[in-house]
Structure 1
Amino acid sequence: MDNQKSGYIPLYRSILKQPWAKDVYLRTLWENLLLGAARKPFTASFKGHEWHLQPGQLVVTAADLGLQLCDRKGNPASRDQVERMLQVFVREEMISIDGEKQKGRVITITNYAEYAQKMDNLPAHGAAHDGAHGAAHDEASNGAGLKVVAAHDGAHGAAQATAQHEQEGNNKNKNIKRSTFRNSVESRNDATEKFLSRHPEAADGIYTPSGKSWGTADDLKAARWIYSQLLTVNASLSEPKWAEWANTIRLMRVQDHRTHYEICDLLKWASKDDFWGENIMSPSGLRKQWDRLTSKRSRKTSGAKHSASELNFDNTDWAEGLLP
């Protein structure tokens, strides 16, 4: 009965067959998303704003989710770790994410109606879950009525109803999702494995599922350094898609024959220019305007030899310590 006071959700056994199921962090994160999602249309107060949520949605930040994922020593998962885990669910088409990382983002659980449909048949779920969700967002319960098994059915009836619900859920989940989900997961996994076999130098997690965009560890270091430099120009600049930034830097190296030093050095100069400082906000912008930037820089220096003392890229550790 104590558990019923807080409400509960159905969890299909077929989850154990998913390729990510053995990762205890991913499993726990998925359960937390299900438990935190609104069951009915709901207005949440979060980060000083009101968010109008629909069934299957919750508003949260990666940092907040990380506080719910601790190791045995109580150390929470970092924001970057949570972001990588969320992207697993995005690639598996289990969730979609909208909004800004710092102010709060709305996570929508795909096919949440399948869960909600079953939850409506669970005893004691209605008011309990809505109340718990409202408290989590500093909002009152929406006052949904408490649902219980009829008294004349007794404990046996409740157990039978629960067992029937679980079996129906498992069967429906298998019939609807087995072929499409498994095939899509297998095809994505195969594509990723083939991509990594061709490009073992790709940085861990810094690539799109198709392998269209990717970068090396040093490309990622350059991307992070560029981001830190641009923050001095625009402190509200949103965190980029690292795979895209690293990919552009890789292309600048491979196709345009630029070095990491040359890329970061020109970006540093552009960020201090009265005009270009506000117009170059990404590696792609730098690449597109490279010739114009180089020409203007040459005219300003009047042919004087540019000093490289400001940056030190003599070894592969050239970007260490630039970001925490």
Structure 2
Amino acid sequence: MENQKFGCIQMFRSIKKTSWARDVYLRTLWENLLLDAASQPYTARFKGHTWHLKPGQLVVTAADLGQALCDRHGRPTSRDAVERMLAFFVREGMISIDGEKQKGRVITIINYEQYAEKLPNLPAQRPAHTTTHDEASNVAACREGAAHEGAQTTAHHEQYILNTNVFNDRSKKAKLHPEAAIQTPAGGKWGTAEDLQCAEWMLALRNVTKPSLKKPNLTTWANDIRMLRQLDGRTHREICQLFKWAAQDSFWHKNILSPAKLRKQWDTLSLHREDRSRKPVNEIPASDTHWNSPEAWEEFL
């Protein structure tokens, strides 16, 4: 009953079916993010700045997260290792990140409402909540009792108790993102209608240059295109133009066969595209028309 007043989060059994959950550091970091995220809007003070957080958000640095992620000898996880894990969660569509690495960044849990639902008929479950929060201690996290003295718990003065009586998520229907046109069952990967159209456009082009390849998962493609837009600042037109250039290039036409590969090699492709000495291998007509116009589709459909 004492724990109930801090609220709880839900964990789903299906998480054990994911390959990444076998990594104890990835799984623990994910649970820490869920536990430390705000349950309601509040104003936090962190690193000398004021942050207006929404439900499902926390403000933190990679170093702070590493302090709360220790091995059995109390050694914290390095900042670079935490950055790699956060980047993985971003690629999987589980979180988004805004802000500067040193001053603090706001991490947003995608679909947080699915984890934050409260158990019914628990009168004690009224979370103690303050409107301002002091800065985290980077030392206390690795001492005995770090779960209660850790950097994030101190920073936010808010703790959520992991609900060990996990819910069977098969009985719950995943909620769509408001603008989603396609998504995975759990909502971790998704894309808008234009993301999906862009994915279909790219697939149609690939089917011309590589018709024997197996049909991809369009949800994954749409999600990768969404991340190219939202995280990398690319437009649909830029995405399709660079993908089309790669499909014509004598080297890259064998390597850039998906939005994920395009995103990974974007900077290199952009540099090579400026090299006028490179010769095309696939004669695909050039066009300045909009990527989703009938004229653009008619080039290879």
- TM-score scaled by structure 1? 0.47
Higher helix share: 1
Structure 1 residue 138: Cα displacement: 5.4
Structure 1 residue 75: Cα displacement: 1.6
- TM-score scaled by structure 2? 0.50
* Structure 1 runs (4+) greater than 4 angstroms displaced: 131-135, 137-141, 173-177, 179-188, 248-252
1:210–1:139 distance in 2 versus 1, CA, 3 Å: closer
Whose RCO is larger (CA < 8 A, sep 6+)?
Answer: 2
Q: Distance in 2 between matches of 1:122 and 1:15?
A: 26
Matching residue of 1:107: 107
Q: Partner of 1:178: helix, strand, or coil?
A: coil
Matching residue of 1:64: 64
Matching residue of 2:81: 81
Structure 1 residue 9: Cα displacement: 1.1
Q: Distance in 1 between matches of 2:170 and 2:130?
A: 27
Q: Partner of 2:172: helix, strand, or coil?
A: helix
> Which residue identity lines up with residue 49 of structure 2 in the other structure?
H
Asked if residue 212 in structure 1 is aligned to residue 262 in structure 2, the reply is yes
1:250–1:23 distance in 2 versus 1, CA, 3 Å: farther
Asked if residue 178 in structure 1 is aligned to residue 185 in structure 2, the reply is yes
Matching residue of 2:32: 32
Question: CA contact under 8 A between 1:59 and 1:104: conserved in structure 2?
Answer: yes
The root-mean-square deviation of aligned C-alpha atoms, in Å, is 4.2
Matching residue of 2:8: 8
Structure 1 residue 178: Cα displacement: 2.2
Structure 1 residue 184: Cα displacement: 6.7
**Residues 69-104 of structure 1, C-alpha deviation per residue, up to 9 Å, x if partnerless?**
112222211111111111111111111100000100
Matching residue of 1:119: 118
Greater Cα offset, 38-47 or 1-10: 1-10
Matching residue of 2:235: none
Q: Could you tell me which runs of 5 or more consecutive residues in structure 2 were left unpaired when the two chains were aligned.
A: 135-152, 159-163, 177-183, 190-216, 223-250, 253-257, 278-301
Matching residue of 2:201: none
Matching residue of 2:284: none
Q: Could you tell me which runs of 5 or more consecutive residues in structure 1 were left unpaired when the two chains were aligned.
A: 142-161, 189-197, 200-207, 216-242, 258-324
Larger Rg: 1
> Identity of paired residues, percent?
50
Q: Distance in 2 between matches of 1:184 and 1:73?
A: 44
Question: CA contact under 8 A between 2:42 and 2:54: conserved in structure 1?
Answer: yes
> Which residue identity lines up with residue 87 of structure 2 in the other structure?
Q
> Which residue identity lines up with residue 261 of structure 2 in the other structure?
G
Q: Partner of 1:11: helix, strand, or coil?
A: coil
1:179–1:127 distance in 2 versus 1, CA, 3 Å: closer
Question: CA contact under 8 A between 2:174 and 2:187: conserved in structure 1?
Answer: no
> Which residue identity lines up with residue 185 of structure 2 in the other structure?
R
> Which residue identity lines up with residue 166 of structure 1 in the other structure?
F
Q: Distance in 2 between matches of 1:68 and 1:21?
A: 18
**How many residues matched?**
190
Q: Partner of 2:59: helix, strand, or coil?
A: strand
Matching residue of 1:166: 167
Q: Distance in 2 between matches of 1:68 and 1:18?
A: 23
Question: CA contact under 8 A between 1:95 and 1:110: conserved in structure 2?
Answer: yes
Structure 1 residue 7: Cα displacement: 3.5
Structure 1 residue 8: Cα displacement: 2.3
